[in-house]
Structure 1
């Protein structure tokens, strides 16, 4: 990526996350990044492509964050299932406006929009990760459990109450641990 393209993407990422995708136009992104609109279009082609690129970059960072958390030594297979919740707690400290993917899905309802597809793919990846971790842990009904965990995860992102002493990610992390223990084969 050229330095100009990097500035455009960095500026767009900040603006899209802070102000919303539909509220931010290419004029503002060009001004904020110090490039011309022509440079923006030469590098990305369209706002839609820039939105998808922004979401893909966030997705890569999030997946790397989860992968790093899964490398924690001495985790039992059951504990590994709840690692995305621990990673989410850490992630939310630096992302107070909630989930960029939920926000994108709310702002981009058209499934043909490339940004919508990136956000939907991120949710599918997380569902598949939960399913894989639950299967590896030998838990009962891993597909059902994965769906329950995804709903908890997404709920934590949708419900952030700043006035409380516990984060929503911490609360759903505890709930996820209860679900994982209940799905253990030794439980009736």
Structure 2
């Protein structure tokens, strides 16, 4: 029997991750205790510790889940759009949709970083890996679209997304999304060859 076959998470593990994702994002990681996650997931304390060993590993699973969902969104957009120039538009539209529909309380990675200031800790390392993937993915999109200085484009879009997710939470999607889209398109237009 091959050990390379990916295993589906147990239903209890999936419920724990789902509950943690919702609670940690809506209320803050340190504000939510494991008892609350256990109650929401309808599992025992022993199940949480068997699956994760403790809260920090559950936090890492939450962030890995957020990372996976974002990677899947990018993969779907890449599969559905064949023209590189249109992929840039799809990325901007995807970020706008994220601000208003999914991440309405800011960026989960920025929120977690605020709660875990140790840059050498496992949580911050996970956040750094996610941000590096996001930045390099945007740079690849800019390269494929023939934009000049693709690393600068990617850095600008990451910064704009960070600001837009926080701004969307504070000032509302109706105010922030159009400003993000307008500014992101200006960055793209400034780098067209």
Shorter-chain TM-score range: 0.7 to 0.9
Q: Distance in 1 between the 2:41 and 2:123 partners?
A: 21
Q: Distance in 1 between the 2:121 and 2:186 partners?
A: 37
Q: Does 1:87 align with 2:94?
A: yes
Q: Please, which of 34, 41, 56 is the counterpart of residue 48 of structure 1?
A: 56
> Higher mean Cα deviation, 117-126 or 164-173?
164-173
In angstroms, what is the RMSD of aligned CA positions?
2.0
> Higher mean Cα deviation, 149-158 or 91-100?
91-100
Return the TM-score normalized by structure 2: 0.85
Measured after TM superposition, the shift of residue 151 of structure 1 is: 0.9
Return the TM-score normalized by structure 1: 0.87
- Tell me what 2:23 maps to: 15
Q: Name structure 1 gaps, 5 residues minimum.
A: none
Local SS of the residue matching 1:109: coil
> 4+ runs of 1 displaced by more than 6 Å?
none
- Tell me what 1:26 maps to: 34
- Tell me what 1:174 maps to: 182
Local SS of the residue matching 1:59: helix
- Are the equivalent residues in 1 in contact too, given 2:146–2:192 (CA < 8 A)? yes
From the two aligned structures, give the one with the greater helix fraction.
2
Q: Please, which of 65, 70, 81 is the counterpart of residue 62 of structure 1?
A: 70
Aligned residues: 184
Q: Name structure 2 gaps, 5 residues minimum.
A: 1-8
- Tell me what 1:78 maps to: 85
Measured after TM superposition, the shift of residue 70 of structure 1 is: 2.9
Measured after TM superposition, the shift of residue 91 of structure 1 is: 2.3
- Tell me what 2:147 maps to: 139
Measured after TM superposition, the shift of residue 82 of structure 1 is: 4.0
- Tell me what 1:123 maps to: 131
- Are the equivalent residues in 2 in contact too, given 1:85–1:153 (CA < 8 A)? no
